[in-house]
Amino acid sequence: MSKDAPDVKPIGIWSAVAIGVGGMIGAGIFSILGIATTITGNLIYISFLIGGAIAILSTYSYAKLGTRYPSAGGPVEFLLRGFGDGILSGGFTFLLWIGYIFALSVYAEAFGSYAATFLPKYQSFSVTILAALIILIFMSINFLGPKVVGRSEILIVGIKVGILITFAVVGLFFIKPSLLIISHLPKVTDLLTASALLFLGYQGFGLITNTAEDIKNPEKNISLALYIAVVLVILIYVLVSVVVVGNLTIPEISIAADYALAAAAEPFVGTLGFTIMAIAAIMSTSSAINATLYGGANISYLMAKKGELPKFFNRTTWRDG
């Protein structure tokens, strides 16, 4: 990954917010929302709020630590400060790094699956090719530097957030009030189970702390970007979940669990709903790949500096020999 000159801060507040939102709104909201709704019924938005409250508490910790120990390594730096430069912190760091690799594979596969639906003939090998291609594209973008990463993230996240907000706002006018009536209260354990599942949709805001060496005024902007990103995502998730349960019955959501958003859009958009949601999913997975590559590359850089990865990863620009 490339690094701009030390005295240049290429990441602005909105680029950092976009990186956080991009990391949070990945493919999860398009697949796990339907599954979680089968657990909680039409009170799914309560589980989103619980998950969001937990995310806010985590955000507070990240904001304090990110401001106190600004580093391109983000959470890795926190581990080093807390446990020292030893086997324990090294082990956790390596697991985090491996986790990013697995996350990238999930995002890429989801991108390939949605993108392949636009091809004349859907073939499994098309998914693999598209998944590999999108990784290569965003690797190239990351090579161009943090400024390009930030600007591309603003564009992609802007499109997907625009689609989701439009879906939520328009969908509110088509809600059937009878579907929001609480016929029976779900168990507290069911709400918490769904919250734990939906919390996956909030993971990713920590990538904002990886911008510490690239962001302008990190002491102020890291905290601000974290809170803006998480609050924005909470609002989007709650609005989207209300629209879904307000337009579909629980049995209908159960049948369309893997594409609940597309099914919920059909009553007011028609068959075009699936296409619109597929585009939103493509944008969501793209932004998640871009943000995760950025954060993962910074972690690789810090791990190499600590001798936990080959020195090759310690290069600050792709042009280094």
Which CATH superfamily hosts domain 13-306? Amino acid/polyamine transporter I (1.20.1740.10)
Best CA proximity match to 260, nearest among 198, 211, 182: 198
Q: What is the pLDDT of residues 278-293, one digit of tens each?
A: 888 888 889 889 888 8
Looking at residues 3-23, what average pLDDT do you find?
Answer: 78
Mean pLDDT for the stretch of residues 262-283 = 82
Percent of the chain with pLDDT over 90: 25
CB 39 within 8 A of CB 190: yes
249 confidence band (pLDDT: 50, 70, 90): confident
Mean pLDDT over residues 258-277, rounded?
79
Q: CA-to-CA distance for 155 and 287, rounded, in angstroms?
A: 9
- The whole-number average pLDDT for the span 136-140 is 91
Degrees, nearest 5: CA angle 230-150-1: 115
Q: Is the pLDDT of residue 219 over 50?
A: yes
pLDDT at 214: 85
Tell me: pLDDT of 190 over 80. yes
β-strand partners of 11: 215
Q: What percent of the chain has pLDDT over 70?
A: 90
Helices (H), the chain: 13-24, 28-40, 44-68, 75-83, 87-116, 124-143, 146-172, 177-180, 188-198, 218-247, 250-255, 260-269, 272-305
pLDDT of 317 reads 52
Task: Write the CA distances from 71 to 23, 150, 306, integer angstroms.
Answer: 18, 17, 13
Mean pLDDT to the nearest integer, 106-119: 83
Phi first, then psi, for residue 280 (nearest 5°) are -60, -40
With 0-12 / 13-18 / 19 or more C-beta atoms within 10 angstroms meaning exposed / middle / buried, residue 147 is: middle
**More confident of the two residues 315 and 133:** 133
Per-residue b or e along 309-321, where b marks 16 or more CB atoms closer than 10 Å to that residue's CB: beeebbbeeeeee
Among 60-64, 249-253, 274-278, 309-313, which stretch is predicted with the lowest mean pLDDT?
A: 309-313
Task: Please report the pLDDT score of residue 4 as a whole number.
Answer: 46
Give me the residue spans of the domains in the chain.
13-306
Is 54's pLDDT higher than 50? yes
